[in-house]
Amino acid sequence: MLLSTKKKDLIMVITLVTDQFWQNNHGTSISAQRFYNGLVKLGHTVRVVSIDESNNSIYSLKERYFGKTITKIINSQGFQFAKFDKEILKKAITGADIVHVYLPFKLEQKTIQLCREMNVPFSAAFHLAPENITSTLYLNKSKLVNGCLWSSFKNKVYRYAKHIHTPSLMIAKQLEKHKYNCNMHVISNGYNDIFKVQESVRPEEYKDKFLITFIGRFSREKRHDLIIKAVNASKYRDKIQLVFGGKGPTKKHIMKTAKKLPNYPVFSFFTREQLVSLFNYADLYIHPADIEVEGMSCIEAIACGCPALVGDSPKSATPQFTVHEKSLFKHGDYKDLAEKIDWWIEHPEELKAERKAVEQHAHKFTIEKSMPFYIEMFEQAIKDWDKDFDCKKKGLKPNIINNYK
């Protein structure tokens, strides 16, 4: 419970609830782990409720099973749904100052119901856009389907949350557009300080290459295919070496598509230490995603001084991490991307200067700078807690609290 009346000394018991936490295969769990470590470092007691096959927590949940075929399909996307256990959740919620839920699924829905019954404050995070789901089903352009999901997320979870964490201003504005009448706190997920400029020796096989990298889950909305098309259309296609990092359902297809390139890309899954090294010796980082709530790998790249070339998708928050006008390309346009790649290759002095510029730009997105904003959000959520709050009934107007003005 709260141990001090002095705001700067408030120590809380915080319960984090998310389907996946201990796995390192997607952005939400990695961000949750980073947040957990930040809270513990500040002296807070943090309870984690999630699937936990290694028994790291006393609040371990089992995987929710949908039958062999459907569960296999879900797992192929790198995801597992947690099975709600009322007794475990009660234990994790009892004595907590606040509960923070990450996703809009059954576990989080039931947790919110329980918080209201037990009169324990909670806040929510918006890490998953409906288009992240519909893209996998080839329905990302369907306004009807996406609209239904936006409504479903709101009706089942976010209507009861007076305070919502949004990792970017872009996604906060999306919530505002869809009438999520709540307080939306724009707070970066924050990158770990291991990502920084350092001496890094480029492997001999890349010595004479222009090295471009992209780290991200292999899925339709990430648009690895766009990078391959652009490099193939580049005047310097023979000079460019691509390095892709990640896992995901479209990896085999991308590996097959990449065979057209003169220099076959490197496909791997990197440790954090390996990523730091890669970002420090790479020439350019490309982020072409259609949908991106924030884009942590892009922040990590620029923190290491690797300039980013980003697609200007209206549903991607990643353009905020660019500095130079030549660092944005027309969303979905591989020809424009190819032209931008060629421009950077032909302007080495500008590229060198950009390394310093983006590294400086990254500083405001560190996890250390995000933590006070998180704590302030929790304190506000506790202060004006109302177990009967329902934004649809009480008509609270959307309120975006932008911490990066």
Q: What is the enclosing helix (H) or strand (E) of 268?
A: strand 266-268
Residues of the chain by 3-state class (helix, strand, coil), percent to 5: 45, 15, 40
46 contact partners, CB below 8 Å, separation of at least 6:
14, 15, 16, 36, 39, 40
Q: What is the pLDDT of residue 248?
A: 85
Q: What is the pLDDT of residue 322?
A: 95
Question: Where do we find the tokens 């923190």?
Answer: 303
Domains of the chain: 7-190+366-402 (3.40.50.2000), 204-364 (3.40.50.2000)
Q: Is residue 331 exposed (0-12), middle (13-18) or buried (19+ Cβ within 10 Å)?
A: buried
pLDDT digits (tens, 9 = 90+) for 382-394: 999 999 998 887 6
Q: What is the pLDDT of residue 9?
A: 55
Q: What is the pLDDT of residue 28?
A: 86
CA atoms within 13 A on the CB side of 322: 20
Q: Is residue 166 exposed (0-12), middle (13-18) or buried (19+ Cβ within 10 Å)?
A: buried
The beta strands (E) that lie in 96-236 are given as: 98-101, 122-125, 163-166, 183-186, 210-215
Tokens of 337: 């991307």
Of 311, 308, 309, whose CA–CA distance to 333 is shortest? 311
Q: What is the pLDDT of residue 405?
A: 74
Q: Is residue 385 exposed (0-12), middle (13-18) or buried (19+ Cβ within 10 Å)?
A: middle
Handedness of CA 132, 133, 137, 138 (dihedral sign): negative
Q: What is the enclosing helix (H) or strand (E) of 172?
A: helix 169-177
Segments in the chain below pLDDT 50: 3-7
Q: What is the pLDDT of residue 70?
A: 77
pTM for the whole structure = 0.91
Q: What is the pLDDT of residue 392?
A: 81
Tokens of 342: 């060629």
